[in-house]
Structure 1
Amino acid sequence: MGVTTEISEFHYLPLQAEALGVSVPAVERLTLTLPDGRELSALRYGTGAPAVTLLHGAGLNAHTWDTTVLLLKEPVLAIDLAGHGDSSWRDDADYSGRALAPDIALALQEWTTQPQILVGQSLGGLTAAAVASTHPELVRELVIVDITPGIDTSGGPSALRAFYEGPTDFATRDELVDRAMSLGFGSTRPETARGVFLNTRVRPDGRIEWKHHFAHLAARALAMPSSGDAGPGAVLDAGGWDDLAAAAAPITLVRAARGFVTEPDAEDFRRRVPGSHIVAIDATHNVQETAPTELAELIRAAFVSPA
């Protein structure tokens, strides 16, 4: 078997920056060993101390924010949640916001020097709320993107379930790209290929597998439906409303017009979280990918708001 040489995970950034007409920031991968021996991984963009930390949604990774970061043009920390990207999987498969929050708090203590504008999309939003609740000194402002504690996203669209309940390893990444596009994911083949590359890895045997734990849990649950195994539904966190109520930082909810948070959901959020600010953006659930300009502008506005 020939040796496979992987291209850099930052291979796509210059092309993205050129398309946007912006410069490529300095970027490096960070690794933090947690008290239980797991590793937490992150990307640090730009020079200087980051004032913004980004937390992605379930099944994604820190690179989902690349375009938003390029447009933001500020030092940023983007973290791979446990079980995603280059961060270790959890043995208990508990990917609720409250379970993930202690990792993020340790990362902020290690990698930042000031309270953060903490932006979390979907699962990252529930995690951000838990961090803001338990470590108010670390969070200057909380931006939650297209999620509320009242929404059950565990089922997901049927096409997405079919995508992750299929095989967990493949001979080539092209097979995954073909599969993704056949199910309607990705606007162009190059963009889909980028997403697949950044969310997969080459095993020692040369096979390609998903980096995130959810795909493996979904496939296992499909094979053993009565096993009681924790699956992607484990992202739900019943304590999310309490976390939001306890957060001292200003809170903004970003509702994607074509996403998960409906207008009634947003009104429920406004009622339960008095004083919160709600912004609607014409985007799908992954706002950072389908409306990065608008999201970057919203985050940038937080820089000029009173600390």
Structure 2
Amino acid sequence: MAAETFVTRAPDDVRIIADRHGDPDARAVVFLHGGGQTRRSWGRAAAAVAARGWQAVTVDLRGHGESDWADEGDYRLVSFAADVHEVLRTLPPNPLVVGASLGGFTAMMLAGELAPEAAGAVVLVDIVPNMEVAGADRVLAFMAEKMETGFDSLDEVADAIAAYNPHRPRPTDLNGLSSNLRRRGDRWYWHWDPQFISGPEHQGPMEIYDVDWLNAAVQTILDGGVPMLLVRGQLSDLVSGERAEEFLGRFPQVEFVDVAGAGHMVAGDHNDIFADAILGFLTRHSG
């Protein structure tokens, strides 16, 4: 079944674009992508979840994919979370929120402060409050390198991604890359607003560096009885083994899956293992 695209208006009237896979009356699993990605990054995982009878919703965060860019460059974490809250209002109660990287921080803000009642369960994909800042800096450097100049071709894009993710085979079919890019003139550009990383600092997602606040948000989520799962890529440079152990030591009630051979982009590296982890968590917390 083809996905149904729908539009939600954020509190500041930014249009948020999402796809619905599966039964619109079923309990929803809402997928939030990482910075610089789009809802397309969840395609295979969403299809696997929908095939098991759940409603899978993939969201383009503001400034990404087909969602509107924020006129004033407002890419604060609280704004991402408020947008997602509006999407959740349109869905059946107790959705499971799956957030990768920036999407995981958004889930912490949403369920840990903005609307503690909004999520029935939370999955953090390769992100914890006390992430490895050097890994985050590497992500930002990759995003910024061709942000203004763009790429000559999809081959150049594939080369750049292969250099960033050397453990992942270089794709032979480059058509899939075009979902994360847009062609302007004779060049390809990432399909996200450059102000997301180059705009005024007070309008950016600086909350991601406030470790104490993020830990407090996770504690609020867990204190509310909301189940949580951390899915880590063993090759991740954002969530090292040490950082994962620290997080699980602080929050022992969090379930944990460590995906061998996967880096920060866990779902893209090993989608079958990732989807199985999500489905197992869903089954255990489907009441």
TM-score range for the pair, normalised by the shorter chain length:
0.7 to 0.9
Deviation of 1:229 after TM superposition, in Å, equals 5.5
Aligned to 1:255: 232
The corresponding residue for 1:146 is: 126
Q: Matched residues, percent identical?
A: 25
In structure 2, what is the Cα distance between the partners aligned to 1:254 and 1:177? 27
Choose the corresponding residue for 1:243, options 217, 222, 228. 217
What secondary structure sits across from 2:120 in the alignment? strand
Q: Does 1:268 align with 2:246?
A: yes
2:118 is aligned with 1:123: no
Distance apart, 1:40 and its partner CA = 0.7
Q: Contact 2:122–2:227 (CA<8 Å) still a contact in 1? A: yes
Cα distance 1:242–1:92, how it changes in 2: closer, same or farther (>3 A)? farther
1:187 shift after superposition: 2.5
Q: How far is 1:51 from its partner?
A: 1.8
| 2:124/2:231 contact within 8 Å kept | yes
Q: Is it true that 1:26 corresponds to 2:2 in the alignment?
A: yes
- Greater shift in the superposed pair: 278-287 or 83-92: 83-92
- Work out the CA distance in 2 between the residues paired with 1:273 and 1:181: 34
> What does the per-residue CA deviation read over 1:25-73, in whole Å, with 9 as the maximum and x for residues that have no partner?
3202211122322111111112333521111111111110112123332
Please tell me whether residue 200 in structure 1 is matched to residue 178 in structure 2.
no
The gaps in structure 2 that reach 5 residues or longer are none
Residue 41 (1) aligns with residue 17 (2): yes
Residue 60 (structure 2) pairs with residue 80 (structure 1): yes
CA contact (8 A) 1:141 1:302 kept: no
In the alignment, which residue of structure 2 is the partner of 1:187?
Answer: 169
CA distance in 1, matches of 2:281, 2:188: 40
AA paired with 2:278? Answer: I
Q: May I ask how many residue pairs the two structures share in their alignment? A: 270
1:207-254 CA-to-partner distances (Å, cap 9, x unmatched) read 54321124x665x68xxxxxx657987472412112111112111111
- Work out whether 1:68 is the aligned partner of 2:40: no
Question: Quick one: distance in 2 between partners of 1:267 and 1:202?
Answer: 43
Question: What residue is the counterpart of 2:275 in the other structure?
Answer: 296
- 2:144 alignment counterpart: 164
Deviations 1:248-270 (A, max 9, x none): 21111112100121122112212
Long gaps (5+) in structure 1: 1-24, 222-227
Provide closer, same or farther for how the CA distance between residues 181 and 208 of structure 1 changes in structure 2, counting only shifts above 3 A: closer
CA distance in 1, matches of 2:41, 2:228: 22
Q: CA RMSD in A?
A: 2.8
Partner of 2:93 in structure 1?
Answer: 114
1:271 shift after superposition: 2.9
TM-score when normalising by structure 2? 0.82
Structure 1 position 198, deviation (Å):
0.5
The structural deviation recorded for 1:140 is 1.1
